[in-house]
Amino acid sequence: MTVFRQGPGARNVAAMSDNPFFSPSTLEYELPPFAEIREEHYRPAFERGMADQLAETAAIAANSEPPTFDNTVVALERSGAVLRRVSAVFFNQDSSDTTPGVQELDAEISPLLAAHADAIHLDAALFARLDTLHEARHGLGLDPESLRLLERRHTAFVRAGARLDADGQRRLREINAELAADSAAFRRNTHAASLAGAVAVDSADALDGLPGAAVAAAAENARALGQDGRWVLSLKNFSNQTELASLTDRSLRERLLTASLRRGLDTNGPLAAKMAALRAERAALLGHPTHASYVVADETAGTAGAVSAMLGRLVAPAVANAEREAADLAAAAAADGIDELAAHDWAFYAEKVRAERYEVDTAALRPYFELERVLRDGVFFAAGLAYGLSFTERPDLTAYHPDARVFEVFDADGSALGLFIGDFHARESKRGGAWMNELVAQSRLLGTRPVVVNNLNIAHPAPGEPALLSWDEVRTLFHEFGHALHGLFSDVEYPSFAGTEVPRDFVEFPSQVNEMWMTRPEVLANYARHHESGEPLDPAVVRRMLAAENYGQGFRTVEYLSAALLDWAWHSRTAADPLVEDAEAFEARALAEAGIAVAAVPPRYRTGYFNHVFSNGYSAGYYAYIWSEVLDAETVEWFGTGGRGVRESGQLFRERLLSRGGSRDALECVRDVLGRGPEIGPLLARRGLE
């Protein structure tokens, strides 16, 4: 995207009718016209978008005719077109290609957007119309999707405080505005802390153990950061950096992990404590004992007790597994003269033990996982096998950054389905992690088809060299494409239900299911080929690699559970609890009380960079990954049973679940697929927790 800072008079110019957000895009699939969008277009578009929607909702509320589904609920669905367009593009840029100007506007606009949402949800006349319709809903003759929309809209207003008295609504508005500003600050702080925490070395020798391509990528990273002649390891958004498995220099491993674990604690620790307190106060206003209780009441889990019970059931066997693994690793470390296994040693010696036990060196497998081949002959190939999809790259369509590539997606019958944008490489302007965004959501009501984005953070290779992936990066590519499929397959009337508009503890389910294709023999054999010779990965190595996959489940489960329970502890506090003064001490106490404090296995995310729960909408919801994995483990088994072929199973999964978005109850969709409710057994077996 071409970006210009806003100068004198720019606002007036951008506010004119040439602002590309003021009307629908004329490009295919209403792809945003990125070649025309400039940074100074955002603010006027937000201002007009909010004003337009408030005028639209005010007209709905003031309608002298009795409320009907069309003049109230459908009218709400149609409202806010300009705001919808600018929000999708702006927040995609804020995460994918941010600038100081974008961050400044995020800080200013986020509280205004929170106030805007409150102005709609707390409009008494508007809610009265919805309430009237909700009371009479079963006599309105609505089809199932329309009835569900009315019910979900009504629930959203109630949960947003529509039934509060004037004093309660005033305080709620204050809290929401403050939380929105704090969330934007948390994002900025995390980005800055991750950049500042990057580890630079002056000699390639210090990176002994890393594959040659990774060393070259570190040099390229240094060059991009203005540190020519050095090698820079930028921090990824999770705790245990991938390089820890390979670096032979123990002091560098310690330095890298320390930089990862300490980032953001000074700025985001106090901010997280404040946000947790505000969320607890808001929950109490809305009639819930804790923020966790408030969140889960509208998820598939239903109650905080159900989540606590599930997480608690997993802790003891996970810790026992991790302790058994630690004994193996300590013995390997002792052979190198290390008296005590530290957190920065775990990944390194786990890799050693895995190599000795299973004769698999995962670092040596990178040449078989070249990005372009994994994408086309793995991810896209699997989508063809299961769903009949095909993909054509569209270099004539401009995305928001030169790294971002546009693909047109075609259905099995050759009809056009939507656009997929792949933005795979790390850069200084992109936040860490991996995620999916929707630039345009599918809706029959609005006549729109899906435009979805996958973002990853794969290091840029040296010029002329291929991007070679780790096994975890291969998994991430398949995982995020599962989210993309959820958006691409959406087939609903109303935009509120499109694609991934499902409960938070369900949204990870389709993406986790899509991971299964990475190890399916016919898929793996198609993409796991040496990038130079084209030689396939030896089937014997594949078998050993799959066996090695099960090794380390103790570490992975404890790492995940520690983060989930840390999120749960922050958001299980009540409004009466005192403000946390020391986030680091709170972390240690919370993990100890949960029985998950394993010194050598830090949480996958610590408070200082836990974007999921303090800025990305997963507050009291990080448990969703393992809650969804219960469904995932069941579905993977289902794909291989029943005498159906892969294509038939894929079509059923698409029709009965992926295409439904939020238009049906999520667990009803699961029962439609499985023929019964989910059971936890397959998950326990997968993770070795029986």
Taking only the tens place, the pLDDT of each residue in 75-97 is: 999 999 999 999 999 999 999 99
Q: Is 190 exposed, middle or buried (0-12, 13-18, 19+ CB in 10 A)?
A: buried
Q: What is the pLDDT of residues 486-523, one digit of tens each?
A: 999 999 999 999 999 999 999 999 999 999 999 999 99
Q: 152 with 180, same domain? A: no
Q: 180 with 292, same domain? A: yes
What's the number of CA atoms in the CB half-sphere (13 Å) around residue 625? 17
Tokens 């980005």 belong to residue: 191
Helix (H) / strand (E) containing 417: strand 416-425
b/e code 205-221 from CB counts within 10 Å (16+ = b) = ebbebbbebbbbbbbbb
Angle at 87 between CA 81 and CA 88, to 5 degrees: 95
Q: Coil, strand or helix: which one is 4?
A: coil
Q: 185 with 116, same domain? A: no
Q: Which of 567, 602, 621 is the last residue of a domain?
A: 621
469 within domain boundaries: no
294 within domain boundaries: yes
Per-residue tokens: 257: 């992990």
Q: Which of 106, 138, 162 is the last residue of a domain?
A: 162
Say what the pLDDT of residue 360 is.
85
Question: What residues are annotated to the active site?
Answer: 480
Q: For 52-71, what is the mean pLDDT?
A: 98
Say what the pLDDT of residue 484 is.
98
CB 222 within 8 A of CB 200: yes
Q: What is the pLDDT of residues 186-207, one digit of tens each?
A: 999 999 999 999 999 999 999 9
Task: Give the list of residues 6+ apart from residue 467 with CB closer than 8 angstroms, or none.
Answer: 370, 371, 372, 424, 425, 458, 459, 460, 461
Q: For 146-153, what is the mean pLDDT?
A: 98
Q: 158 with 171, same domain? A: no
pLDDT bucket at 7, cuts 50 / 70 / 90: very low
Q: Is 592 exposed, middle or buried (0-12, 13-18, 19+ CB in 10 A)?
A: exposed
Cα–Cα distance, 100 to 71 (Å, whole number): 42
Q: For 25-51, what is the mean pLDDT?
A: 98
CB 572 within 8 A of CB 307: no
Residue 385 has pLDDT above 50, yes or no: yes
Q: For 25-29, what is the mean pLDDT?
A: 98
Q: For 462-466, what is the mean pLDDT?
A: 92
CB 469 within 8 A of CB 456: no
Q: For 541-560, what is the mean pLDDT?
A: 88
Q: 158 with 168, same domain? A: no
CATH number at residue 60: 1.20.1050.40
Say what the pLDDT of residue 408 is.
98
595 within domain boundaries: yes
Q: Which is it for the CA torsion 394, 395, 401, 402, positive or negative? A: positive
Q: 171 with 310, same domain? A: yes
53 within domain boundaries: yes
Q: What is the pLDDT of residues 342-352, one digit of tens each?
A: 999 999 999 99
Give the Cβ contact number of residue 181 at 10 Å: 17
Cα–Cα distance, 108 to 377 (Å, whole number): 44
Closest CA to 492 of 664, 352, 363, 353: 664
Q: For 648-665, what is the mean pLDDT?
A: 97
What's the number of CA atoms in the CB half-sphere (13 Å) around residue 533? 6
Q: For 537-561, what is the mean pLDDT?
A: 88
Helix axes 343-358, 539-549, angle to 10 degrees: 140
DSSP secondary structure, 103-160, as one string: HHHHHHHHHHHHHHHHHHHT-HHHHHHHHHHHHTGGGS---HHHHHHHHHHHHHHHHT
68 within domain boundaries: yes
Residue 9 has pLDDT above 70, yes or no: no
Pairing of strands 451-458, 416-425: parallel
Give the Cβ contact number of residue 28 at 10 Å: 15
Residue 219 has pLDDT above 80, yes or no: yes
Q: 187 with 328, same domain? A: yes
Q: For 89-116, what is the mean pLDDT?
A: 96
**Residues listed for the chain:** 690
Q: 137 with 181, same domain? A: no
CB 585 within 8 A of CB 627: no
DSSP state of 62: H
Q: For 309-314, what is the mean pLDDT?
A: 94
Q: 172 with 145, same domain? A: no
Say what the pLDDT of residue 17 is.
65
Mean pLDDT of the chain: 94
CATH number at residue 282: 1.10.1370.10
Closest CA to 84 of 483, 401, 623, 501: 501
Say what the pLDDT of residue 3 is.
29
Q: 157 with 266, same domain? A: no
Q: Is 643 exposed, middle or buried (0-12, 13-18, 19+ CB in 10 A)?
A: exposed
DSSP secondary structure, 484-536, as one string: HHHHHT---SSGGGSTT-S-HHHHHHHHHHHGGGGG-HHHHHHH-B-TTT-PB
254 within domain boundaries: yes
Q: For 148-154, what is the mean pLDDT?
A: 98
Q: Which of 162, 182, 215 is the last residue of a domain?
A: 162
Q: For 42-64, what is the mean pLDDT?
A: 98
Q: 153 with 175, same domain? A: no
397 within domain boundaries: no
Tokens 């002994």 belong to residue: 208
**What is the dihedral angle through the alpha carbons of 525, 528, 530, 532, rounded to the nearest 10 degrees?**
100
Of 245-249, 483-487, 550-554, 608-612, the poorest mean pLDDT is in 550-554
Tokens 């009803």 belong to residue: 668
452 within domain boundaries: no
Q: For 29-44, what is the mean pLDDT?
A: 98
Say what the pLDDT of residue 443 is.
98
Cα–Cα distance, 233 to 362 (Å, whole number): 19
Residue 457 has pLDDT above 90, yes or no: yes
Q: How many domains does the chain have?
A: 2
Q: Coil, strand or helix: which one is 293?
A: helix
271: domain range?
Answer: 164-195+250-358+538-621
DSSP secondary structure, 152-221, as one string: HHHHHHHHTTTTS-HHHHHHHHHHHHHHHHHHHHHHHHHHHHHHHT-EEES-GGGGTTS-HHHHHHHHHH
Closest CA to 509 of 634, 387, 617: 634
Q: Is 641 exposed, middle or buried (0-12, 13-18, 19+ CB in 10 A)?
A: exposed
Say what the pLDDT of residue 550 is.
78
DSSP state of 342: -
pLDDT bucket at 432, cuts 50 / 70 / 90: confident
CB 135 within 8 A of CB 477: no
Say what the pLDDT of residue 2 is.
27
Q: 148 with 177, same domain? A: no
Q: Is 337 exposed, middle or buried (0-12, 13-18, 19+ CB in 10 A)?
A: exposed
Closest CA to 329 of 350, 344, 343: 350
Per-residue tokens: 681: 């057994």
Residue 16 has pLDDT above 70, yes or no: no
Percent of the chain with pLDDT over 70: 98
Per-residue tokens: 207: 């990176």
Angle at 220 between CA 217 and CA 225, to 5 degrees: 125
